[in-house]
Structure 1
Amino acid sequence: MTDTNKYLFNHTMVRVKDAQKSIKFYEDVFGMKLIRTDDFPEAKFTLYYLAFRPDNKPWTDREGVLELTQNYGTQDDDSYSVSNGNKDPKGYGHIAITVDNIESCCEQLEAKGVRFQKKLTDGRQKNIAFALDPDEYWVEIVQSDAYDDASKPSVSSPDSYHFHHTMIRIKDPKVSLKFYQEVLGMTLIRTKEFEAAKFTLYFLAYTDSRDNTHLWNREGVLELTWNWGTENEEGPVYHNGNDKPQGFGHICVSVDDLQAACKRLDGFDLVQWQKRPEEGRMKHIAFIRDPDNYWIELIAHEGTFFKAKHSL
């Protein structure tokens, strides 16, 4: 048996050109920590996992992890670049980090020379900003609702930051919401509509024992963005990041029992298999595809994914 109440939105994977530059960015700029490294010399790639507030739990048993994938040699390849999902072809949008004082945080980022896609003063939404990482992936910055003007510190500190959500664009919200709620067992925790701009945001998460008092002060949230009318378009609308040009790779859900979870998924017509556990060399992972062809990795709790060559 498998229990979706025990599932976790464990990590989000993006490909990077130069992992050392990207790690330095997320550590020095936002205060994340490198918690694990896995090297696969036979396949010529390395995985780097970062998170806020490292603890003694197995890395599979938490939410809010960012996985950076670097293929060997790309840092020295002038022709190599990644697709950030916000330039054509579009699909993946961004990750979001919540902070304690957004004005102070953005001032600190500017002082460190961070480039912005959108500053607080730009556009209609004055309460969010978007920074650019070394590969021009967008990083949304939002102030946590755990703080108000009276309680927020005068100087922002990464000690209070959270890797809040990952955003992907979807074609048809009815189909995608059915998939993420019924197939993967997530809960819709908030919907936000922007009538003037003609798009709607849907926020989903695993909620069983987690704090839902402050939506913006938690981790493990998936944001689905629906631009009105795309459901009426013929064929695929968005790029999954794994077909060329590559960039975003997948989101990952860790489950209580991988074999049982996969058996359960076989009962849903919406599930498309990319890789079953018994296929390929890596027997402890599986991949399914959502209605927009985004990949979702499935791993088991308690570190049964694979043994690390380096554990930091």
Structure 2
Amino acid sequence: MVRIIPMASSIRPSLSSIRFSSRCGVSLSSFNNSSRRLNSFHVGCVTQSQLFSLKASKLVRAEGSNMAVRATGNMAPVSSAITQEDALDWVKKDKRRMLHVVYRVGDLDRTIKFYTECLGMKLLRKRDIPEERYTNAFLGYGPEDSHFVIELTYNYGVDKYDVGAGFGHFGVAVEDVTKTVDLIKAKGGKVTREPGPVKGGRTVIAFIEDPDGYKFELLERGPTPEPLCQVMLRVGDLDRSINFYEQAFGMELLRKRDNPEYKYKIAMMGYGPEDKNAVLELTYNYGVTEYDKGNGYAQIAIGTNDVYKTAEVIKLSEGKVTREPGPLPGINTKITACVDPDGWKTVFVDNIDFLKELE
């Protein structure tokens, strides 16, 4: 659903992506090529917002401010003036789910073949937008309205991307790691870590690379409703990142582990238990505070009930909002975009609008 194009003059921005352009700002769409039209739910305008503002560590109402959204002709408040404590409490109660992860590949058909034949994913949908010179494919282990999925982006004529040192891997839960690795080898896939217990633990894992060099960790576990279970990113200050994702994103710290022998720490963050939900794995390597992110990995999309409140809480939590909340021109899907303290991008998408796009 969401695509951020790399900074290359030869690649044109597209309507079905988040894009950064001096002319038209940021745009996102998940429409099929045959139905690029307005949603029936129309958000016509947003007046001056009833702002959250940080003052003496409190979120207070700006004097005389007002926020409303016109929806099907009726004016309705989007947010209310609340304290900082109430704002952070709202984040915990907001209906949030990791929707999909977005990244770029050099040969879409080759990648689809690898993911479906070797990793057992299903091609959920595919769309080509020739006038914008890109193609998207959505793959996963279940429908997009209930599962965390992958969005692949192929930009015409671009056959290679820099994965970077900051991106770690995707995690896929399988019932038998050894059998999966044997299958991947038979299909000509690259295995970078043979099956065996994780260092310092008992979980059987293996590492493989897809045709573009993105790493996948295979984790041996029983049947799970969310086989696409992890996105691992490296950060420069683990405690800072944990605090940010708890406060700004409403995630829960599921577990934290220090491995002094191997000089790294990890924190699992998410919206539910690891065996039933996709989670974000944050990794801190001792002494490393910055990473090259490359131009292959793009972002994660997360659903929310209110993009306006989401943006203000992100600001309150010292995050940087890169796209102010509101409906996108022409499509009316409401989004907001931000970066975390390490510069990793996330887009929040209105839950109702997301389901309408899937229709």
TM-score range, shorter chain: 0.7 to 0.9
Contact 1:4 1:255 in 2 (8 A): no
Unaligned runs of at least 5 residues, structure 2: 1-78, 80-89
Distance 2:91 2:258 in 1: 32
Contact 1:33 1:51 in 2 (8 A): yes
Distance 1:188 1:3 in 2: 14
2:191 maps to what in 1?
A: 116
Residues 301 and 269 of structure 1: CA distance in aligned 2, closer, same or farther (over 3 Å): closer
Match of 2:269 among 177, 193, 204: 204
Contact 1:201 1:225 in 2 (8 A): yes
Residues 14 and 263 of structure 1: CA distance in aligned 2, closer, same or farther (over 3 Å): same
- Residue by residue, what CA displacement relative to the aligned partner does 1:250-308 show, whole Å, maximum 9, x if unpaired? 11111122234234434x15221222245975753321000000110111223438847
Distance 1:204 1:123 in 2: 19
Distance 2:127 2:281 in 1: 28
Residues 227 and 205 of structure 1: CA distance in aligned 2, closer, same or farther (over 3 Å): same
The residue correspondences of 1:20-39 to structure 2 (distance < 5 A) are 20-39=109-128
Report SS of the residue matched to 2:354: coil
The residue correspondences of 1:1-312 to structure 2 (distance < 5 A) are 3-5=91-93, 6-54=95-143, 59=144, 61-74=145-158, 80-85=159-164, 90-120=165-195, 127-144=204-221, 146=222, 162-207=227-272, 212=273, 215=274, 217-231=275-289, 237-241=290-294, 246-266=295-315, 268-278=316-326, 281=329, 284=333, 285-304=335-354, 307=357
Q: Which amino acid aligns with 2:140?
A: A
User: What is the TM-score of this pair, normalised by structure 1?
Assistant: 0.76
Contact 2:302 2:346 in 1 (8 A): yes
Residues 160 and 108 of structure 1: CA distance in aligned 2, closer, same or farther (over 3 Å): farther
- Residue by residue, what CA displacement relative to the aligned partner does 1:222-249 show, whole Å, maximum 9, x if unpaired? 0000012235xxxxx11334xxxx1000
Shift of 1:194: 1.5
Contact 1:10 1:65 in 2 (8 A): yes
Q: Which amino acid aligns with 1:255?
A: T
Question: Relative contact order (alpha carbons < 8 A, sep ≥ 6): 1 or 2 greater?
Answer: 1
Equivalent residue pairs, number: 266
Distance 1:82 1:93 in 2: 15
1:154 maps to what in 2?
A: none
Q: State which drifts further: 159-168 or 95-104.
A: 159-168
Shift of 1:36: 2.8
- Residue by residue, what CA displacement relative to the aligned partner does 1:107-156 show, whole Å, maximum 9, x if unpaired? 22222221112222699578321111110110110111x37xxxxxxxxx
Unaligned runs of at least 5 residues, structure 1: 75-79, 148-158, 232-236
Distance 1:30 1:258 in 2: 34
User: What is the TM-score of this pair, normalised by structure 2?
Assistant: 0.67
Contact 1:100 1:160 in 2 (8 A): no
Work out the percentage of aligned pairs sharing the same amino acid. Answer: 27
2:38 maps to what in 1?
A: none
2:84 maps to what in 1?
A: none
Highest Rg: 1 or 2?
2
Distance 2:354 2:303 in 1: 10
Report SS of the residue matched to 1:22: helix
Shift of 1:101: 1.4
1:234 maps to what in 2?
A: none
Report SS of the residue matched to 1:142: strand
Contact 2:252 2:269 in 1 (8 A): yes
